[in-house]
Amino acid sequence: MAWQRRKPAAPSELDADPAAARAKALALLTGRDYPSAELYEKLCARFAPAAAAEAVAALVAAGLVDDARYAESKARSLCRARKSRLAAAMALRGKGLTDEQIDAALDAAYAPGDGADPELEAARALLAGPYRAKLAAGRRDLVSAALARRGFPARVIRQALADVLQNETDDFDAI
């Protein structure tokens, strides 16, 4: 086996040095941005909880770790990945962010720009892509259920299906 999963360290083996924890946190932050809760959990795998908390607090005070900035960046990324607002909220909640941070980030990322609703655009893209064959086979019920499981609200599902079906009839009339 090329790699082995690291066993959790015993409490007596954890490093209590806050400077080492801060150095490890900085090394982690060079790869990508982390929310404070996730960074704390990663540091607790090798360092004492007090050292990890002190390191995270120092990085937050220095502005290197900012949960609001992370939430907004992640929400935009999830919006671009065509996730529903509900799915994005669940993903952000799993990162240990507060409800206020999540709401602010989602409001910014899912704000209707250029008159288009990002959730509706995401649902339309899914209907034009992976669910196109099921719609062509007349399985609108399966497609609706799949979109609902992905977290899209009923109004978005109805509107996206109506738009796609209207486009199909327009294409058929053009022939």
- pLDDT for 170 equals 56
Are 19 and 35 part of one and the same domain? yes
Are 85 and 56 part of one and the same domain? no
Token pair 């400077």 is found at 19
Amino acid identity of residue 38, one-letter, is E
- Is 162 within a domain? yes
- pLDDT for 43 equals 94
- Is 1 within a domain? no
The residue range of the domain holding 164 is 118-174
SS3 state at 58: helix
**How many angstroms separate the CA atoms of 84 and 28, rounded?**
29
- Is 154 within a domain? yes
- pLDDT for 2 equals 59
Low-confidence ranges of the chain (pLDDT < 50): 1, 172-175
- Is 129 within a domain? yes
Are 144 and 101 part of one and the same domain? no
Burial of residue 162 (CB within 10 Å: 0-12, 13-18, 19+) is: exposed
Are 164 and 125 part of one and the same domain? yes
**How many angstroms separate the CA atoms of 67 and 63, rounded?**
10
Q: Whole-model pTM?
A: 0.79
Distance between alpha carbon 68 and the CA centroid of its chain, in Å? Answer: 14
Are 131 and 147 part of one and the same domain? yes
- pLDDT for 167 equals 74
Are 159 and 132 part of one and the same domain? yes
Are 122 and 164 part of one and the same domain? yes
- pLDDT for 20 equals 93
Q: Cβ of 10: how many Cβ atoms within 10 Å?
A: 7
Q: pLDDT tens across 19-62, in order? A: 999 999 999 999 999 999 999 999 999 999 999 999 999 999 99
User: How many domains does one find in the chain?
Assistant: 3
**33-64 burial code (b ≥16 CB/10 A, e <16):** ebbbebbbebbbebbbeebbbbbbebbeeeeb
- pLDDT for 166 equals 83
- Is 126 within a domain? yes
Report which DSSP code applies to 138.
T
- Is 104 within a domain? yes
Angle formed by the axes of helices 49-62 and 18-31, nearest 10°: 60
Are 54 and 20 part of one and the same domain? yes
- Is 155 within a domain? yes
Are 123 and 156 part of one and the same domain? yes
- Is 3 within a domain? no
Q: Cβ of 149: how many Cβ atoms within 10 Å?
A: 10
Report which DSSP code applies to 11.
G
- pLDDT for 77 equals 94
